[in-house]
A = this chain, B = another copy of it.
Amino acid sequence: MRRRAPRDWTLLTDYYELNMMYAHFRNGTHDRVAVFDLYFRENPFRGGYTLAAGLETAVEYLQGLRFEPDDIDYLRSLGTYDDAFLEMLREFRFTGDIDAVPEGTVVFPGIPLVRVKAPIAQAQFIETALTNIIGHQTLIATKASRVVQAAQGDRVLEFGARRAHGPDAATYGARAAIIGGCHSTSNVLTGKYFEVPVAGTNAHAWVQFFDDELEAFRAWARAMPAGVLFVVDTYDTLRSGLPHAIEVAREVEAAGGRFLGVRLDSGDIAYLSKKARAMLDAAGFPDAIIVASSDLDEYLIRDLKAQGAKVDVWGVGTKLITALDTPALGTVYKLAAVEQDGVMVPRIKVSENPAKVTNPGVKKAVRIYENATGKAAGDLLMLQDEPLPAGSCVTLFDPVYPWKRKTVENFSCRELLVPVFRGGQLVYDLPSLTEIRDYARHELSTFWDEYKRLVNPEPYPVDLSVELWRLKNEMVERVRAPFGDD
């Protein structure tokens, strides 16, 4: 892994996390162990699946957690905390256990992406940054995966740095886009940090700088003889840009250089790309590629392809990097259990909204596969100490509508969460970004198309074990009992 400048993320936290940490400290409860689940309640983009991402960055955050002297000085200046607490912060490190789904895993609402087991002061404190990092990258990886799906095997380049929400959103967003299947990114910092290919052509400003387009193309070809690609829509795509590109392409190839193709960045991409293809072919450049950019997303790419657009490479910017149609994943971080006299006691949060009632207890997430097809049949949340389903078949039932059942015969199981930290030590081998992308592609291949449809997909079953379902119902009853019926 290449050098990344160390980051100053310890105070990237909500003030209330520090206040709760302090209140636990003052009450002497700060060392009691608690378990939190980080998950989301709904797939983004009205889609059928989500692609987990961000774990490596979360590891970097957890490993770097320490309050520097100037952090302590700043916290002292707030006037909220006593000296004993501020002294304790000097020695503060993450010492807990973390289990997480590997980056690139296909996940669904309710599945913990990260499970934290640590002294409550630590487990509570890391909520904000952990949720921020995992939520952001998971969102962008999912969006990228949809765009790549729409491109049906064409290359997708991530081009959004200038429209991202600040430098990190550009850099880590591009990282997530690669996980989602993008071939490369325009962001050089991401290329450097994560050893993935960078890509780019040139801008209209290059062409405008020169007195005319032909001169601009020739100047470009002089500088980039090994491979030139021209942006052809500065003045008029069909009457100026393409004829000039073809003229200079001939000069380039005559001089032993290589003409790669053209980029279309405005106008009707379906119409222009077909015209451009015909012109390039007629000029003897059947291998020249057509790159399209301009407000693309999965829906427009799908429609352009349906209309026969002759595009080889899609440059996708704003709508991918900002996850424009669902720019927040709604990730939450909920208390699941608290240690009492050496035993983990389940905790629940009840809500008027049934979807917001949490799943209590220390849990594992299990994916059931049909052996006959290798496809995933459903996910099961279980209590950690339950045995995995075994035998000749397993029955899944909907936790809200228990009469909705599904029996899977000849199945196998896989636990989704893997150990990442034990006692504050990293015990997980972080894969490279391209390994994660390959894994994500394989993951997606284990799901039926109906779950992956861009619009109105079939909901994938995420069910509870009988034991967890009973525990949850009992706890809800117990919590609500004092208030009677409305």
Known contacts being A187-B12, A192-B74, is A167 close to B203, with CB within 8 Å?
A: no
A478 smallest CB distance to B (angstroms): 11
Of B8, B22, B169, B208, which contacts A347 at CB under 8 A? B208
Q: Which residues of B contact A189 (CB under 8 A)?
A: 8-9, 11-13
A188 interface hit (Cβ, 8 Å): yes
Interface locus among A351-359, A401-409, A412-420: A351-359
Q: Are A162 and B187 in contact (CB under 8 A)?
A: no
Q: Are A328 and B322 in contact (CB under 8 A)?
A: yes
Q: Are A18 and B204 in contact (CB under 8 A)?
A: no
A95 interface hit (Cβ, 8 Å): no
Interface locus among A233-241, A299-307, A441-449, A465-473: A233-241
A434 interface hit (Cβ, 8 Å): no
Q: Are B235 and A350 in contact (CB under 8 A)?
A: yes
- A263's closest neighbor in chain B, by CB? B16
Q: Which residues of B contact A191 (CB under 8 A)?
A: 11, 15, 74, 78
Q: Are A165 and B165 in contact (CB under 8 A)?
A: yes
Of B2, B13, B34, B239, which contacts A209 at CB under 8 A? B34
Known contacts being A161-B13, A188-B11, is A205 close to B36, with CB within 8 Å?
A: yes
Of B14, B164, B202, B349, which contacts A162 at CB under 8 A? B14
A19 interface hit (Cβ, 8 Å): yes
Known contacts being A20-B202, A23-B223, A223-B23, is A136 close to B2, with CB within 8 Å?
A: no
A218 smallest CB distance to B (angstroms): 9
Those of A1-32 within 8 Å (CB) of chain B:
2-9, 11-20, 22-27, 29, 32
Q: Are A7 and B167 in contact (CB under 8 A)?
A: yes
Q: Which residues of B contact A107 (CB under 8 A)?
A: none
Known contacts being A132-B164, A166-B166, is A266 close to B18, with CB within 8 Å?
A: no
A283 interface hit (Cβ, 8 Å): no
Q: How far is the CA of A428 from the CA of B468 in the complex (A)?
A: 62
Known contacts being A20-B206, A209-B120, A220-B23, is A323 close to B334, with CB within 8 Å?
A: no
A379 smallest CB distance to B (angstroms): 24
- A356's closest neighbor in chain B, by CB? B266
Q: Are B8 and A4 in contact (CB under 8 A)?
A: yes
Which one of A32, A168, A171, A338 has the greatest number of beta carbons of chain B within 10 Å?
A168
A325 smallest CB distance to B (angstroms): 9
A186 interface hit (Cβ, 8 Å): yes
Q: Which residues of B contact A171 (CB under 8 A)?
A: 12, 166
Q: Which residues of B contact A120 (CB under 8 A)?
A: 209
Q: Which residues of B contact A267 (CB under 8 A)?
A: 352
A295 smallest CB distance to B (angstroms): 9
A200 interface hit (Cβ, 8 Å): yes
A133 interface hit (Cβ, 8 Å): yes
Of B22, B129, B480, which contacts A167 at CB under 8 A? B129
Of B129, B170, B219, B234, which contacts A27 at CB under 8 A? B219
Q: Which residues of B contact A223 (CB under 8 A)?
A: 22-27
Q: Are B161 and A136 in contact (CB under 8 A)?
A: no
Q: Which residues of B contact A22 (CB under 8 A)?
A: 223
- A201's closest neighbor in chain B, by CB? B16
Interface 1/0 per residue, A329-343 and B, CB below 8 Å: 111011100100000
Q: Are B188 and A164 in contact (CB under 8 A)?
A: no
B-binding residues in A (CB < 8 A): 2-9, 11-20, 22-27, 29, 32, 34, 36, 70-71, 74-75, 78, 120, 124, 127-129, 131-133, 135-137, 139-140, 159, 161-173, 186-189, 191-192, 198-206, 208-209, 219-220, 222-224, 234-236, 239-240, 266-267, 318-319, 322-324, 327-331, 333-335, 338, 347-353, 356, 479-480, 482-483
**25 interchain pairs (CB within 8 A)?**
A12-B167, A12-B187, A13-B189, A14-B161, A16-B202, A18-B200, A20-B205, A20-B206, A23-B223, A26-B223, A32-B209, A34-B209, A78-B198, A128-B162, A131-B163, A132-B161, A132-B167, A136-B166, A140-B165, A162-B333, A165-B322, A166-B168, A168-B168, A208-B335, A208-B349
